Homo-oligomer: A and B are copies of this chain.
Amino acid sequence: MIKTTTRLFGVIGDPIAHSLSPLMQNWFFQHFGIDAAYLAFHVHRERLSGCVEGMRALNITGLNVTVPHKEAVMAFVDQLSPDVAVIGAANTLQNDGSKISAAVTDPYGFIESLGAARDRFPGAGVVLFGAGGAGKSVAFALARLGIQRLTIVESIDEKAKSLAALARQKFHIPMVETLQVESPDLNEAIQQSTIVINATPQGMHPNLKGLVITDFSAFSKRHLVYDLVYNPVTTRFLAEAKTKGATTLGGLDMLIFQGLQSLRIWMEEDYKLEERPLQQVRKLLMTELRIHE
């Protein structure tokens, strides 16, 4: 129940109508016993500055930032975390009462979502589809996880080159290459890797048939295949990889853990999500996703 002491948190974006964050964060508040409420705010680009000023004025402790404001918001805060400075995007604003800091929790959400599969990353070769905002966060996480080789597959050449440069020079991944989606070398790259990740919106509801790759002949049971798309929970990409024996992971846990990481930053508490509550959040979010299908 909302009281006079209840603190406000929220997410800003445009559009924002389908954000799962309010449902998830309010569940977190209840689970961890936090007296707070989390709302979604539809914020236009030209109002970003007013939004950060409003955060200061209303003494809002935390905001998440989503598409399309993750880059633009950086200009209006007082301080960037080193990760934000390197990645060039922020999804978490924290107001400590005197200054507003920007952090990015997507890479941590990705890492924490791996669970036991985390052991597969050190020294691995990884094929990454997509060099947009999500691809950038994943590449940063992959560097943290100690991968050896990154193959970036992206149809827009400029984006591929830009992320490749970042991955080499700022993230310090030892070997980085780029490939076009249609490249005849793609199957070989997949064969020589053990991890394949989709960080594009292909296959996302309602375009369930979308696929970043149509030839799955190079996929095998040696592969860990990760799709950042969480709606549907099992994308066509994951389903196809599964028929080849690959281990698959969907994007729902990354969503959950990036949110949890934001909460940790805001509350300065190292909240843990055990297996049972994690199952509960997953179920809650999947139910909500089904409502909108």
Residues in chain A within 8 A of chain B (CB atoms): 1-8, 10, 12, 16-23, 26, 37-43, 47-51, 53-59
Contacts and interface: CB of A to CB of B under 8 A. Distances in A.
A8 B10 CA distance: 10
Contacts of A40: 4-6
Contacts of A37: 2, 37, 39
Contacts of A20: 4
Contact of A41 (B17, B39, B58): B58
Given A53-B53, A53-B57, A18 B43 contact: no
- Residue in A8, A51, A58 whose Cβ sees the most chain B Cβ within 10 Å: A58
Instruction: Give me the 4 closest cross-chain CB pairs, A-B, nearest first.
Output: A54-B54, A50-B57, A47-B57, A51-B57
A55 B50 CA distance: 8
A39 B58 CA distance: 10
A41 to B, nearest CB: 4
Contacts of A6: 22, 39-40
A39 B59 CA distance: 12
Given A17-B5, A23-B4, A58 B38 contact: no
Nearest to A11: B4
A7 B22 CA distance: 12
Nearest to A36: B39
Contact of A26 (B1, B19, B56): B1
Copies per complex of this chain: 2
7 contacts: A1-B26, A2-B22, A2-B39, A4-B18, A4-B19, A50-B53, A54-B56
Contact of A38 (B2, B42, B57): B2
Nearest to A8: B39
Given A47-B56, A54-B57, 20 more contacts: A3-B22, A4-B16, A4-B19, A4-B23, A5-B17, A5-B40, A6-B39, A6-B40, A7-B39, A12-B58, A43-B57, A43-B58, A43-B59, A49-B57, A50-B54, A50-B57, A51-B57, A53-B54, A53-B57, A54-B58
A37 to B, nearest CB: 5
Nearest to A58: B41
A58 B56 CA distance: 12
Contacts of A39: 2, 6-8, 37
A45 B51 CA distance: 18
Given A6-B22, A54-B54, A59 B38 contact: no
A16 B39 CA distance: 21
Nearest to A63: B58
A8 B6 CA distance: 13
B59 A50 contact: no
Nearest to A23: B3
Nearest to A57: B50
